[in-house]
């Protein structure tokens, strides 16, 4: 995570790329296109001195190119060059100059219109792995690029980062940092930091120095008139992450925690922080 991300100078919605596509993500997607599509171009005749999409060995690329020109770009087919290097240059220019949402359109179109044997499943998986690594808010689901992170979730995290309680902000930012580390994400400790943020908040509101969330949540019920159903729900969720049987004990193995676990806990804990702070303000 960069300096600007660690210290809050870069918005969460840019760290989790919900309406943007940074250079590493865009370049990574182009590299996947190269590995899974473009490198399939074949020069079947050494005399040609080049790669031509009209050659029988390039029929999948030819069909893809015609679909792109006719259905995607809406261009006349007689403008489609037979020289693959020229076609590829045009595709590259479009991809790197397009808006973030147009780049996703392009990737989705290629994924669903390139008919090479065993291409789709491998390409979907490679893209989803990259989306997760680069903190994209999107995934391929049944052949469609689908948003898995909503604006409301991002807003809850951003609001929690503006908590008036310093330690809460520190824990939430650390949780986000561990979750979004593109080289070595630490999902287990990201979850711990999310829970610690809630523990810190509740302890400060109750005016106590120590105590686990499981103990503090009972006192919080009367302090801010916490609805019993919410108390039960969050106490049950805390059981998932407590020393007695959850993330800090039974799920200590790295492989047992993934991006979805960590993101869920970060969003839920952020939302709970915002709720408790709001209720606490209303009591004054």
**DSSP labels, 212-223:** -HHHHHHHHHHH
Q: What is the pTM of this model?
A: 0.75
Separation CA 54–CA 70 (nearest Å): 16
Backbone torsions φ then ψ of 116, nearest 5 degrees: -70, 145
Q: Are 113 and 67 in contact (CB under 8 A)?
A: yes
Contacts of 118 (CB under 8 A, 6+ apart): none
pLDDT by residue, tens only, the chain of 284 residues: 566 555 555 677 778 898 899 999 999 999 999 999 999 987 654 445 568 888 888 899 999 999 999 999 999 999 999 999 999 999 999 999 999 999 999 999 999 999 998 999 999 999 999 999 999 999 999 999 998 888 888 899 989 998 888 999 999 999 998 988 878 889 989 998 998 898 888 888 888 866 666 677 777 777 777 777 777 777 666 665 554 444 444 444 555 788 888 999 999 999 989 988 888 776 65
Enumerate helices (H) and strands (E) in the chain, giving the number of each.
13, 2
What angle (nearest 5°) sits at the alpha carbon of residue 18, between those of residues 13 and 19? 95
Strand ranges (E), the chain = 138-141, 144-147
Q: Whose structure tokens read 């290629």?
A: 110
Buried b (16+ CB within 10 A) or exposed e, 129-139: ebbbbbbbbbb
Q: Name 145's bridge partners.
A: 140
Query: Of all helices (H) and strands (E), which one includes residue 84?
Result: helix 84-97
Q: What is the pLDDT of residue 244?
A: 47
**Short-list 177, 176, 238, CA closest to 213:** 238
Separation CA 79–CA 119 (nearest Å): 27
């Amino acid at each position: 995570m960069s300096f600007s991300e660690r210290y809050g100078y870069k918005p969460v919605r840019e760290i989790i790329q919900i309406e943007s596509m940074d250079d590493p993500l865009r370049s990574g997607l182009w590299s996947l296109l190269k590995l899974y599509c473009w490198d399939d171009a074949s020069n079947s005749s050494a005399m040609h001195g080049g790669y031509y999409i009209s050659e029988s060995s390039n029929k999948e690329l030819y069909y893809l190119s015609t679909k792109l020109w006719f259905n995607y770009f809406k261009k006349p087919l007689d403008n489609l060059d037979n020289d693959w290097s020229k076609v590829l240059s045009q595709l590259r220019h479009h991809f790197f100059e397009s808006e973030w949402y147009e780049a996703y359109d392009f990737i989705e179109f290629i994924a669903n219109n390139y008919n090479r044997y065993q291409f789709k499943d491998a390409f979907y998986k490679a893209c989803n792995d990259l989306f997760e690594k680069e903190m994209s808010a999107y995934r391929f689901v049944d052949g469609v690029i689908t948003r898995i992170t909503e604006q409301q979730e991002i807003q809850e995290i951003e609001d929690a980062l503006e908590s008036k309680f310093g330690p809460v902000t520190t824990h939430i930012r650390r949780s986000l940092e561990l979750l979004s580390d593109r080289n070595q994400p630490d999902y287990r400790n990201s979850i711990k930091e999310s829970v610690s943020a809630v523990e810190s908040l509740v302890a400060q509101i109750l005016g106590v120095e120590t105590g686990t969330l499981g103990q503090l949540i009972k006192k919080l019920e009367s302090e801010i008139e916490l609805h019993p159903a919410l108390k039960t729900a969050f106490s049950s969720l805390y059981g998932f992450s407590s020393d007695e049987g959850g993330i800090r004990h039974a799920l200590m193995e790295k492989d047992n925690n993934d991006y979805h676990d960590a993101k869920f806990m970060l969003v839920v804990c952020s939302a709970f922080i915002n709720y408790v702070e709001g209720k606490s303000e209303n009591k004054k």
